[in-house]
Amino acid sequence: MTTSPNPESDPARKILTLAQAQAWHAQLRAAGKSLAVTNGAFDLLHRGHATYLWQAAQQADALLVAINSDASVQASKGPDRPLVNENDRAYLVASLACVSAVVIFNDPKPVDVFKAIPPEVYVKGGDYTEDSLDREEHAILRQAGARFVFIPLVDGCSTTATVRRIREARPDQTRSDRPAAASATGLNPRLDFIFRRRSVRRYQLRPVAEAMVTDLLQAAMAAPSARACDPWHFVILADDALRADLAAKLPNGPFLADAPTAIVVCGDLQKANAQSESFLLVDCAAAIENILLAATALGLGACWLGIHPRPERTAMLRQALNLPESIIPVAIITLGWPAEDHEPRTRAKAARIHRNTF
Ligand SMILES: Cc1cc2nc3c(=O)[nH]c(=O)nc-3n(C[C@H](O)[C@H](O)[C@H](O)COP(=O)(O)O)c2cc1C
């Protein structure tokens, strides 16, 4: 005997417009029930998402999940994401028994959702704190009287890591022929991460995970260096007060104070090829560029703040960071999730290219 499907249990019924979700919330309230809200991209749904959402659901009588639209994911994570379109992401999240309802939001932040549906509880991943939440979102939720709950993330579950594993396992496509269709800019789309690298000077409040900083430093130390002398050293400016203090002393980088992290790239004159400052500088510059390109590839924004050769800036950093005599600070790289967009571009000029002779 076959049983006919129960339309009531169709996950699609849980995907609501904002107006429908508002009406549903009003009914919940009328029944004296509480609502927890969380938000995210939920791109490539994994065990960590499922655990997180189940824990979020334990915080109230019902759980509403606000899902970033495709445009919204692209704005925050770069043009390679999302991997799964918004309707499919919403359907998968709605398929979880612990999820009561789903809405898709189009703006970079879900402020319209919070305004329309002020929840009793707001749930966010443990990589955030109340201090690092977006200020506008925090203010709206605070005003609504929401309780904030931060749920530790499950170790080893990350879409970015999964994507990386899949990409590493697949044959090297960079050696194949150039694709017939170039990007809209006429630049080779395979070099996108180079053309998209622009100086980013405004950042979201969202922190940069330690693991990403580690990735950036591995990229830095993959740079070429003269006779592989690797003269570089890196000082991570993890402390908010330290970054604010240095920003106040640097005429060229007030935004260092607002960046969630930064790296000082230094070189050791004793270690540089021929103990030459010129070799030290070119080696460190290669490492700096690797960090900037790696940051772009990971969806982060970064800016090179010039330190060397200005004596007042190198002296200030030497003192502030307790740098030994032979260590020369070359640059500070500010880092964070971008809060400004720049067009991909090159500044290539035919007049700068010479063939065989100048
Ligand atoms: C050696 C060097 C020093 C720089 N110093 C600063 C700086 O102190 N402050 C800043 O805002 N940008 C700084 N920049 C970033 C440049 O202004 C930026 O790269 C340039 O305007 C080109 O723009 P783009 O990076 O968006 O392509 C520096 C870049 C280099 C290579």
Q: Please state the atom number of ligand 1 nearest to the C-alpha of residue 253.
A: 9
Rounded Cα gap, residues 207 and 134, in angstroms: 10
| Boundaries of every domain in the chain | 9-151, 187-336
Residues (pLDDT < 50) of the chain are 171-183
Pocket test for ligand 1, best of 288, 292, 304, 310 (most atoms within 8 A of CB): 304
Nearest residue to 298 via CA among 77, 48, 93: 77
Q: Whose CA is nearest to atom 1 of ligand 1?
A: 306
What residue ranges line ligand 1, CB within 6 angstroms? 198-199, 201, 252-253, 303-306, 342
- CA distances in angstroms from 168 to 22, 71, 156, 164, listed in the order given: 44, 27, 17, 6
Pocket test for ligand 1, best of 282, 303, 347 (most atoms within 8 A of CB): 303
- For residue 182, how far is its CA from the centre of ligand 1 (angstroms)? 28
pLDDT given at position 160: 72
pLDDT given at position 162: 77
Q: Whose CA is nearest to atom 10 of ligand 1?
A: 305
Pocket test for ligand 1, best of 195, 199, 203 (most atoms within 8 A of CB): 199
207 CB-near residues (< 8 Å, 6+ apart)? 127, 128, 132, 260, 261
pLDDT given at position 131: 83
- For residue 89, how far is its CA from the centre of ligand 1 (angstroms)? 38
Nearest residue to 126 via CA among 154, 156, 161, 96: 154
Q: Please state the atom number of ligand 1 nearest to the C-alpha of residue 198.
A: 26
Strands 35-40 and 121-125: parallel
For 237-279, the pLDDT digits (tens) are 999 999 999 999 999 999 999 999 999 999 999 999 999 999 9
Pocket test for ligand 1, best of 305, 317, 341 (most atoms within 8 A of CB): 305
β partners of residue 124: 150
- For residue 303, how far is its CA from the centre of ligand 1 (angstroms)? 7
- For residue 305, how far is its CA from the centre of ligand 1 (angstroms)? 6
pLDDT given at position 182: 37
Give the angle subtended at the CA of 158 by the CAs of 155 and 161, to the nearest 5°. 115
Q: Please state the atom number of ligand 1 nearest to the C-alpha of residue 342.
A: 26
Q: Is the dihedral of CA 310, 314, 315, 317 positive or negative?
A: positive
pLDDT given at position 176: 34
pLDDT given at position 185: 64
Residue with tokens 């269709």: 181
**DSSP character string of 64-80:** EEEEE-HHHHHHHH-TT
Count CB-CB contacts under 10 A for residue 96: 20
For 32-69, the pLDDT digits (tens) are 999 999 999 999 999 999 999 999 999 999 999 999 99
Q: Please state the atom number of ligand 1 nearest to the C-alpha of residue 255.
A: 11
34 touches 24 (CB < 8 A)? no
216 touches 294 (CB < 8 A)? yes
- Helix, coil or strand: residue 98: coil
- CA distances in angstroms from 96 to 63, 91, 92, listed in the order given: 11, 9, 7
**Torsion of Cα atoms, 303 then 309 then 313 then 317, to 10°:** 80
Q: Whose CA is nearest to atom 21 of ligand 1?
A: 199
Domain 9-151 matching CATH 1.10.3720.10: the answer reads no
Domain 187-336 matching CATH 3.40.109.10: the answer reads yes
